[in-house]
Structure 1
């Protein structure tokens, strides 16, 4: 191994150790002490201290009252990734919206909810719209169910903590009922919200592989008064949209 290879290997090791620290902080929004990070990442305390200082200089982490947490710089990078996802999907979402004359959304999976990344509003007077950054529970939203369908039964129970909150009279509050619906979703690839998170709001959703680390879903929310007549058309058009996105990524 020559000197150049030594430099590359050393750089890779630094990156791997920094990534280990960031993964350790991922589930601790309130922050962790250097000692706790060192134990959790299995790194020497001196190494953690040195890397934290370097990450802090780039605003990747932030230290407050003796605890280290993910910083604003990392949040900005995450937003850039979401922008890339939206940029990749938007032309296809716009085409789908023109075909259906309905709103089309791009959602991202979070730990216990889904978050709206981008939206193409319907051109109809009565339409369903939301603000990017809006969040919905997993078990009562079409994109949330699309993500849940990827989990096995035990992980699903842990994810919902064995309980399901009611948002409307149509909300599924039984884990068994949710499991039965997700079984259908796995077969068809289609997930549905039938006025479960809000009255007069229905939606159809599918996972879409954009080629990024995070998981995304395309959803078409529709006023309940139109849903019954257009459901099959929406399903067919949504499948075609997802296939086009995945073929071009």
Structure 2
């Protein structure tokens, strides 16, 4: 059998190759796009996609024409990050950050329609907000969640959140789509997510982006604190330290990527807002 543009002959490895193309793509891919990129016959790619859909590893977009990563695979990726050999290095970055600024900090990633705390280091202060690593929080009313949303197309935000009104957690929660859209525009321009009592009463949080090897926002570093000890003004004083920690986190992600992506990634790391 003739090999197809570097794609393995093994059926299992072919399926993995198709899956890898989808995982690495910046946008969901169609059957025709996958066929062209993989170099496999269209019926073969279609059959592989069917198996991956059946296994819960992929999902179709609402249009039914494009394929994206499903929650089962995303959850596995999060577990891998939480238990990767570089976890200790990332945890050490958070420990240094908390020692420096004196407030609780976390490392957060997008997980479907929620944000999840991959790691979290608590302040030594007796007055603090207790949430464990692995906790999932909503997107529309948290600093990290809104920062993730600010990087997405309006259509994708609508698919994640629905038409609104959004769930209210406190009196400050933004529940109207138009108001949230204006908030996301501000966050996108500033490059800093913020939450002043929108999810938890009496809490203040700021988040900055962590980018991957392609320069895309894939995670956040955030600081939390209780009011009145923590204010937006005080939080902004922490931004240089937060951004430095985010840069160090980005370097650990670049270290996990193939060599061909690293050069591009490192160039973009320095341009993070």
User: Structure 2-normalised TM-score?
Assistant: 0.66
Structure 1's 225 and 12: CA in aligned 2 closer, same or farther, altered over 3 A? farther
Q: Kindly indicate whether residue 230 of structure 2 is the aligned counterpart of residue 230 of structure 1.
A: no
> With CA pairs under 8 Å and 6+ residues apart, which has the higher RCO, 1 or 2?
1
The 1-side partners of 2:149 and 2:219 are apart by: 12
In the alignment, structure 1 segments of 5+ residues that lack a partner are 25-41, 53-60, 62-66
Checking the alignment, whether the CA contact within 8 Å between 2:148 and 2:217 is kept in structure 1 is no
CA shift for structure 1 position 190 = 0.4
Moved more, 73-82 or 166-175: 73-82
Which of 195, 198, 211 lines up with 1:196 in the alignment?
198
Q: Which residue of structure 2 lines up, in the alignment, with residue 29 of structure 1?
A: none
Q: Which residue of structure 1 lines up, in the alignment, with residue 137 of structure 2?
A: 136
Secondary structure of the residue that 1:226 maps to in structure 2?
coil
CA shift for structure 1 position 184 = 1.4
Secondary structure of the residue that 2:221 maps to in structure 1?
strand
The 2-side partners of 1:112 and 1:139 are apart by: 10
Checking the alignment, whether the CA contact within 8 Å between 2:211 and 2:217 is kept in structure 1 is no
Q: Which residue of structure 2 lines up, in the alignment, with residue 17 of structure 1?
A: 15
Secondary structure of the residue that 1:215 maps to in structure 2?
strand
Secondary structure of the residue that 2:189 maps to in structure 1?
helix
Cα deviations by residue, 1:57-115 (Å, 9 ceiling, x for unpaired): xxxx9xxxxx6445x99966652233336434222211110011111111110111111
Checking the alignment, whether the CA contact within 8 Å between 2:78 and 2:118 is kept in structure 1 is no
Query: What is the 5 A alignment of 1:158-177?
Result: 158-163=159-164, 164-177=166-179
The 2-side partners of 1:233 and 1:12 are apart by: 56
CA shift for structure 1 position 19 = 5.2
Q: Which residue of structure 2 lines up, in the alignment, with residue 94 of structure 1?
A: 95
Checking the alignment, whether the CA contact within 8 Å between 1:103 and 1:129 is kept in structure 2 is no
Q: Kindly indicate whether residue 216 of structure 2 is the aligned counterpart of residue 241 of structure 1.
A: no
Structure 1's 226 and 81: CA in aligned 2 closer, same or farther, altered over 3 A? same
The 2-side partners of 1:74 and 1:161 are apart by: 21
Query: What is the 5 A alignment of 1:113-132?
Result: 113-132=114-133
Secondary structure of the residue that 2:228 maps to in structure 1?
helix
User: Structure 1-normalised TM-score?
Assistant: 0.71
Q: How many residues are paired up?
A: 217
Moved more, 207-216 or 139-148: 207-216
Checking the alignment, whether the CA contact within 8 Å between 1:109 and 1:214 is kept in structure 2 is no
Greater C-alpha radius of gyration? 1
